[in-house]
Structure 1
Amino acid sequence: MTEEDLLTVDELAAAVGLTVRTTRYYAGLGLLPAPVRRGRVAYYGPLHRAYLELVRALQDHGFTLQAVERYVASLPDDATVEDIALQRTMLTSWTSSPAREVTKRELEAEAGRKLSATDLDLLVRLGLLTRHGRGWRAMPNLRIGLELLDLDIAPEGIGAAGDAITRHMDALADELTEILRAEVLAPYRRDAHTPEEAARLEATLPLLRRLTLEAVVAGFQRAANAVITRSLAR
Structure 2
Amino acid sequence: MSEAGNTDEGLLTIDELASAASTSVRTARYYASLGLLPPPERRGRLAFYDERHLAALQLVRALQEHGFSLADIQEYLERVPEGASADDLVIQRVMLTPWANARTETVTRSELDKRAGRKLTKAEVTWLTKMRAVRETDEGFELQMTFPITSQLLDLDIPRDAVLAADDLIGRHMDALSDELTELFRAQVLAPFRAQEHTDAERDRFEYSLGKLRQLTLEALVASFQRASNQAIVRALESR
Please list, as runs of the form range in 1=range in 2, the aligned pairs for 1:209-224 lying within 5 A after superposition.
209-224=214-229
Residues 1:99 and 2:103 aligned together = yes
Q: Is the 8 A contact 2:66 2:102 kept in 1?
A: yes
TM-score norm. by structure 2 comes to 0.86
Match of 2:48 in 1: 43
SS of residue matched to 2:215:
helix
The TM-score, its normalising length taken from structure 1, stands at 0.88
Pairing partner for 1:59 from 64, 88, 98 = 64
Q: Offset at 1:132?
A: 4.7
Identity of aligned residues (%): 49
Within a 5 Å distance, the mapping from 1:45-194 to structure 2 comes to: 45-95=50-100, 97-104=101-108, 105-194=110-199
Change (3 A) 1:118 1:204: same
Q: Which runs of 5+ in 1 are unaligned?
A: none
Provide the rounded CA distance (Å) in 2 between the counterparts of 1:57 and 1:173. Answer: 19
Counterpart residue identity of residue 100, structure 1: T
Query: Which residue is 1:18 aligned to?
Result: 23
Distance 1:35 1:133 in 2: 41
- Work out the CA distance in 1 between the residues paired with 2:13 and 2:114: 43
Aligned pairs, number:
233
> Could you say what secondary structure the match of 2:198 adopts?
coil
Aligned residues of 1:82 and 1:195 also touching (Cα < 8 A): no
Match of 1:227 among 220, 229, 232: 232
Distance 1:67 1:123, change over 3 A: same
Structure 2 counterpart SS, 1:42:
strand
The two structures, once aligned, show a CA RMSD in angstroms of 2.2
**1:186-217 Cα shifts (integer Å, max 9, x gaps):** 22233333333322221111111111111111
Question: Matched residues in 1 for 2:179 and 2:8: separation?
Answer: 43
Deviations 1:53-100 (A, max 9, x none): 1011111112222221122112222222222111111111111x2322
